[in-house]
Amino acid sequence: MVSPWPPGGANDTFSRLIANRLSAALGQPVVVENRAGATGTIGVAHVARAPADGYTLVMGSSPTHATALAIYPNLPYHPVRDFAPVTLVATVSNLLAVHPSVQANSVRELIELARRQPGKLSFGSAGNGSSQHLSGEMFKVRADVDMLHVPYRGAAPALTDIVAGRVSLGFHNMPDMLPLVRSGQLRALAVTGERRAAVLPDVPTIAEAGLPGYSAQVWFGVFAPAATPRPVIERLHAEISRALGDEEIRSRLAALGNEVSGMGPEAFAQFVEGEVTRWADVVRRAGVQVN
Protein backbone atom coordinates (compact mmCIF):
# COMPACT_ATOMS: atom_id res chain seq x y z
CA MET A 1 0.00 0.00 0.00
CA VAL A 2 1.78 3.11 -1.26
CA SER A 3 1.11 6.34 0.59
CA PRO A 4 2.39 9.03 -1.79
CA TRP A 5 2.94 11.54 1.02
CA PRO A 6 5.34 11.71 3.99
CA PRO A 7 4.50 9.98 7.29
CA GLY A 8 2.28 11.84 9.73
CA GLY A 9 -0.39 13.23 7.41
CA ALA A 10 -3.97 12.17 6.69
CA ASN A 11 -3.04 10.01 3.68
CA ASP A 12 -0.51 8.09 5.76
CA THR A 13 -3.09 7.61 8.53
CA PHE A 14 -5.69 6.19 6.12
CA SER A 15 -3.10 3.97 4.44
CA ARG A 16 -2.00 2.38 7.70
CA LEU A 17 -5.54 1.93 8.96
CA ILE A 18 -6.59 0.10 5.78
CA ALA A 19 -3.35 -1.88 5.58
CA ASN A 20 -3.75 -3.20 9.12
CA ARG A 21 -7.27 -4.40 8.45
CA LEU A 22 -6.34 -5.93 5.10
CA SER A 23 -3.47 -7.81 6.73
CA ALA A 24 -5.89 -9.51 9.11
CA ALA A 25 -8.54 -10.15 6.44
CA LEU A 26 -6.18 -11.52 3.78
CA GLY A 27 -3.93 -13.45 6.13
CA GLN A 28 -0.73 -11.85 4.88
CA PRO A 29 1.23 -8.69 5.65
CA VAL A 30 0.17 -5.49 3.91
CA VAL A 31 3.04 -3.04 4.19
CA VAL A 32 2.70 0.72 3.86
CA GLU A 33 5.45 2.39 1.85
CA ASN A 34 5.73 6.18 1.85
CA ARG A 35 6.84 7.44 -1.57
CA ALA A 36 6.54 11.20 -1.22
CA GLY A 37 7.27 13.99 -3.66
CA ALA A 38 5.75 16.18 -6.37
CA THR A 39 2.41 16.53 -4.55
CA GLY A 40 1.94 12.79 -4.34
CA THR A 41 2.44 12.15 -8.04
CA ILE A 42 5.74 10.27 -7.65
CA GLY A 43 4.21 7.51 -5.54
CA VAL A 44 1.09 7.33 -7.70
CA ALA A 45 3.16 7.06 -10.89
CA HIS A 46 5.06 4.15 -9.30
CA VAL A 47 1.80 2.25 -8.77
CA ALA A 48 0.58 3.04 -12.29
CA ARG A 49 3.64 1.14 -13.59
CA ALA A 50 3.35 -1.75 -11.12
CA PRO A 51 2.15 -5.23 -12.15
CA ALA A 52 -1.66 -5.42 -12.26
CA ASP A 53 -1.88 -8.35 -9.86
CA GLY A 54 -3.46 -6.74 -6.80
CA TYR A 55 -0.27 -6.77 -4.75
CA THR A 56 0.49 -3.07 -5.19
CA LEU A 57 -2.11 -0.47 -4.23
CA VAL A 58 -2.09 3.27 -3.62
CA MET A 59 -4.04 5.55 -1.34
CA GLY A 60 -4.97 8.18 -3.90
CA SER A 61 -6.68 11.46 -3.11
CA SER A 62 -8.12 14.52 -4.77
CA PRO A 63 -4.65 16.09 -5.33
CA THR A 64 -3.32 13.01 -7.15
CA HIS A 65 -6.45 11.83 -8.97
CA ALA A 66 -8.63 14.94 -9.41
CA THR A 67 -6.46 18.04 -9.76
CA ALA A 68 -3.05 16.80 -10.93
CA LEU A 69 -4.13 16.29 -14.55
CA ALA A 70 -5.08 19.97 -14.87
CA ILE A 71 -1.99 21.25 -13.08
CA TYR A 72 0.93 19.20 -14.39
CA PRO A 73 1.42 19.34 -18.19
CA ASN A 74 3.72 16.29 -18.12
CA LEU A 75 1.94 14.16 -15.54
CA PRO A 76 3.50 10.66 -15.76
CA TYR A 77 0.15 8.88 -15.45
CA HIS A 78 -3.51 9.38 -16.30
CA PRO A 79 -5.71 9.33 -13.16
CA VAL A 80 -8.56 7.57 -14.99
CA ARG A 81 -6.99 5.37 -17.68
CA ASP A 82 -4.06 4.05 -15.63
CA PHE A 83 -5.96 2.87 -12.54
CA ALA A 84 -8.68 0.51 -11.42
CA PRO A 85 -10.63 2.29 -8.64
CA VAL A 86 -11.29 0.02 -5.66
CA THR A 87 -13.21 2.16 -3.17
CA LEU A 88 -13.70 5.67 -1.87
CA VAL A 89 -12.52 5.55 1.73
CA ALA A 90 -13.61 8.93 3.08
CA THR A 91 -14.19 12.60 2.37
CA VAL A 92 -13.22 15.45 4.65
CA SER A 93 -13.31 19.21 4.60
CA ASN A 94 -10.18 21.24 5.01
CA LEU A 95 -10.09 23.60 7.95
CA LEU A 96 -9.03 27.23 7.64
CA ALA A 97 -7.05 28.06 10.76
CA VAL A 98 -4.68 30.87 11.66
CA HIS A 99 -1.79 31.31 14.06
CA PRO A 100 -2.97 33.09 17.25
CA SER A 101 -0.85 36.11 16.35
CA VAL A 102 -3.00 36.80 13.27
CA GLN A 103 -5.45 39.56 14.13
CA ALA A 104 -8.55 37.91 12.65
CA ASN A 105 -11.31 36.02 14.44
CA SER A 106 -13.53 35.41 11.43
CA VAL A 107 -13.35 34.95 7.67
CA ARG A 108 -14.52 38.52 7.11
CA GLU A 109 -11.84 39.88 9.45
CA LEU A 110 -9.21 37.78 7.67
CA ILE A 111 -10.29 39.17 4.31
CA GLU A 112 -10.17 42.72 5.62
CA LEU A 113 -6.71 42.14 7.11
CA ALA A 114 -5.41 40.65 3.87
CA ARG A 115 -6.75 43.59 1.88
CA ARG A 116 -5.11 46.10 4.22
CA GLN A 117 -1.78 44.24 4.02
CA PRO A 118 -1.54 42.70 0.53
CA GLY A 119 1.11 40.02 0.27
CA LYS A 120 1.95 40.04 3.99
CA LEU A 121 -0.16 37.06 5.06
CA SER A 122 1.12 33.63 4.03
CA PHE A 123 -0.50 30.21 3.88
CA GLY A 124 1.36 26.91 4.03
CA SER A 125 0.39 23.79 2.11
CA ALA A 126 1.53 20.21 1.63
CA GLY A 127 2.94 21.19 -1.76
CA ASN A 128 2.16 22.85 -5.06
CA GLY A 129 -1.13 21.51 -6.40
CA SER A 130 -2.18 19.98 -3.08
CA SER A 131 -5.71 20.37 -1.72
CA GLN A 132 -4.39 22.90 0.79
CA HIS A 133 -2.83 24.92 -2.02
CA LEU A 134 -5.96 24.89 -4.20
CA SER A 135 -8.23 25.67 -1.25
CA GLY A 136 -6.08 28.74 -0.60
CA GLU A 137 -5.99 29.79 -4.24
CA MET A 138 -9.78 29.51 -4.49
CA PHE A 139 -10.03 31.66 -1.36
CA LYS A 140 -7.72 34.29 -2.87
CA VAL A 141 -9.73 34.47 -6.08
CA ARG A 142 -13.17 34.65 -4.47
CA ALA A 143 -12.08 37.11 -1.75
CA ASP A 144 -9.89 39.15 -4.13
CA VAL A 145 -6.93 39.14 -1.75
CA ASP A 146 -3.18 38.70 -2.14
CA MET A 147 -1.58 36.09 0.14
CA LEU A 148 1.76 34.33 -0.26
CA HIS A 149 1.61 30.57 -0.86
CA VAL A 150 4.40 28.61 0.88
CA PRO A 151 4.61 24.99 -0.36
CA TYR A 152 6.15 22.20 1.74
CA ARG A 153 6.96 18.55 1.17
CA GLY A 154 3.92 17.26 3.03
CA ALA A 155 1.37 18.44 5.58
CA ALA A 156 3.42 17.79 8.72
CA PRO A 157 6.26 20.28 8.00
CA ALA A 158 3.74 22.89 6.84
CA LEU A 159 1.76 22.60 10.05
CA THR A 160 4.94 22.79 12.09
CA ASP A 161 5.73 26.20 10.61
CA ILE A 162 2.15 27.46 10.99
CA VAL A 163 2.18 26.51 14.67
CA ALA A 164 5.56 28.21 15.07
CA GLY A 165 4.21 31.38 13.49
CA ARG A 166 6.59 31.33 10.55
CA VAL A 167 3.52 31.04 8.31
CA SER A 168 0.25 32.88 9.01
CA LEU A 169 -2.38 30.28 8.26
CA GLY A 170 -3.38 27.13 6.40
CA PHE A 171 -6.26 25.25 4.78
CA HIS A 172 -5.35 21.77 6.01
CA ASN A 173 -7.14 18.44 6.31
CA MET A 174 -9.45 18.26 9.32
CA PRO A 175 -7.66 15.28 10.97
CA ASP A 176 -4.35 17.15 10.83
CA MET A 177 -5.75 20.46 12.11
CA LEU A 178 -8.14 19.30 14.84
CA PRO A 179 -5.57 18.46 17.54
CA LEU A 180 -3.83 21.81 16.99
CA VAL A 181 -7.10 23.73 17.22
CA ARG A 182 -8.26 21.85 20.30
CA SER A 183 -4.95 22.49 22.04
CA GLY A 184 -5.15 26.22 21.28
CA GLN A 185 -2.07 26.25 19.06
CA LEU A 186 -4.18 27.40 16.10
CA ARG A 187 -7.48 29.26 15.81
CA ALA A 188 -10.17 27.81 13.54
CA LEU A 189 -12.09 30.26 11.35
CA ALA A 190 -14.08 28.07 8.94
CA VAL A 191 -14.37 24.73 7.14
CA THR A 192 -14.01 24.50 3.36
CA GLY A 193 -16.84 22.06 2.63
CA GLU A 194 -20.53 22.60 1.97
CA ARG A 195 -21.59 21.61 5.50
CA ARG A 196 -20.32 22.33 8.97
CA ALA A 197 -18.27 19.55 10.54
CA ALA A 198 -19.97 17.54 13.28
CA VAL A 199 -16.76 17.70 15.33
CA LEU A 200 -16.73 21.52 15.14
CA PRO A 201 -20.42 22.49 14.99
CA ASP A 202 -19.77 26.12 15.97
CA VAL A 203 -17.28 26.70 13.15
CA PRO A 204 -19.03 27.99 9.99
CA THR A 205 -18.30 27.05 6.42
CA ILE A 206 -16.32 29.56 4.37
CA ALA A 207 -19.40 30.02 2.20
CA GLU A 208 -21.66 31.05 5.06
CA ALA A 209 -18.89 33.08 6.72
CA GLY A 210 -18.47 35.49 3.84
CA LEU A 211 -17.70 33.79 0.51
CA PRO A 212 -20.93 32.35 -0.98
CA GLY A 213 -20.37 29.47 -3.38
CA TYR A 214 -16.99 28.46 -1.93
CA SER A 215 -16.70 24.68 -1.55
CA ALA A 216 -13.64 22.41 -1.46
CA GLN A 217 -13.48 18.92 0.02
CA VAL A 218 -10.68 16.39 0.08
CA TRP A 219 -11.23 12.71 -0.56
CA PHE A 220 -9.15 9.56 -0.16
CA GLY A 221 -9.56 6.30 -2.03
CA VAL A 222 -7.77 3.05 -2.85
CA PHE A 223 -6.62 2.37 -6.42
CA ALA A 224 -4.94 -0.59 -8.13
CA PRO A 225 -3.11 -0.50 -11.47
CA ALA A 226 -5.34 -0.66 -14.55
CA ALA A 227 -6.05 -4.19 -15.82
CA THR A 228 -6.02 -5.64 -12.31
CA PRO A 229 -8.38 -8.67 -12.55
CA ARG A 230 -11.96 -7.90 -11.64
CA PRO A 231 -12.19 -10.64 -8.96
CA VAL A 232 -9.19 -9.09 -7.21
CA ILE A 233 -10.78 -5.62 -7.24
CA GLU A 234 -14.02 -7.03 -5.88
CA ARG A 235 -12.23 -8.93 -3.09
CA LEU A 236 -10.26 -5.84 -2.09
CA HIS A 237 -13.37 -3.68 -2.10
CA ALA A 238 -15.29 -6.20 -0.03
CA GLU A 239 -12.58 -6.38 2.64
CA ILE A 240 -11.97 -2.62 2.79
CA SER A 241 -15.71 -1.91 2.86
CA ARG A 242 -16.11 -4.41 5.69
CA ALA A 243 -13.33 -2.67 7.62
CA LEU A 244 -14.91 0.75 7.06
CA GLY A 245 -18.21 -0.62 8.37
CA ASP A 246 -16.61 -1.47 11.70
CA GLU A 247 -18.09 0.82 14.35
CA GLU A 248 -14.74 1.38 16.03
CA ILE A 249 -13.15 2.57 12.79
CA ARG A 250 -16.15 4.71 11.81
CA SER A 251 -16.16 6.38 15.22
CA ARG A 252 -12.42 6.95 15.10
CA LEU A 253 -12.57 8.55 11.66
CA ALA A 254 -15.71 10.56 12.43
CA ALA A 255 -14.00 11.98 15.51
CA LEU A 256 -11.41 13.46 13.15
CA GLY A 257 -14.03 15.06 10.91
CA ASN A 258 -14.15 12.38 8.20
CA GLU A 259 -17.24 11.10 6.40
CA VAL A 260 -16.62 7.39 5.81
CA SER A 261 -17.70 5.97 2.45
CA GLY A 262 -16.88 2.49 1.13
CA MET A 263 -18.27 3.31 -2.33
CA GLY A 264 -18.06 0.48 -4.87
CA PRO A 265 -15.64 0.34 -7.84
CA GLU A 266 -18.13 1.45 -10.54
CA ALA A 267 -19.53 4.37 -8.57
CA PHE A 268 -16.03 5.37 -7.48
CA ALA A 269 -14.84 5.39 -11.09
CA GLN A 270 -17.69 7.73 -12.06
CA PHE A 271 -16.95 9.89 -9.03
CA VAL A 272 -13.29 10.27 -10.04
CA GLU A 273 -14.18 11.23 -13.61
CA GLY A 274 -16.54 13.90 -12.30
CA GLU A 275 -13.91 15.25 -9.94
CA VAL A 276 -11.32 15.50 -12.74
CA THR A 277 -13.76 17.63 -14.74
CA ARG A 278 -14.80 19.82 -11.79
CA TRP A 279 -11.29 20.60 -10.62
CA ALA A 280 -10.03 21.29 -14.14
CA ASP A 281 -12.50 24.18 -14.19
CA VAL A 282 -11.37 25.38 -10.75
CA VAL A 283 -7.69 25.31 -11.76
CA ARG A 284 -8.44 27.25 -14.92
CA ARG A 285 -10.46 29.90 -13.10
CA ALA A 286 -7.83 30.29 -10.37
CA GLY A 287 -4.98 30.43 -12.88
CA VAL A 288 -2.94 27.90 -10.91
CA GLN A 289 0.41 27.09 -12.50
CA VAL A 290 2.96 24.64 -11.14
CA ASN A 291 6.41 24.60 -12.71
CATH 3.40.190.10 residue window(s) in the chain: 94-191
pLDDT tens, position by position, 60-104: 999 899 999 999 989 999 999 999 999 999 998 899 999 999 999
**Per-residue model confidence (pLDDT) at position 291:** 60
All residue ranges of the chain with pLDDT < 50 are none
| pTM over 0.95, yes/no | no
CATH 3.40.190.150 residue window(s) in the chain: 2-91+216-286
**Per-residue model confidence (pLDDT) at position 287:** 78
User: What CATH code would you report for 94-191?
Assistant: 3.40.190.10
Which residues have a Cβ under 8 Å from the Cβ of 98 and sit 6 or more positions away? 104, 110, 168, 169, 186, 187, 189
Domain 2-91+216-286 has CATH 3.40.190.10: no
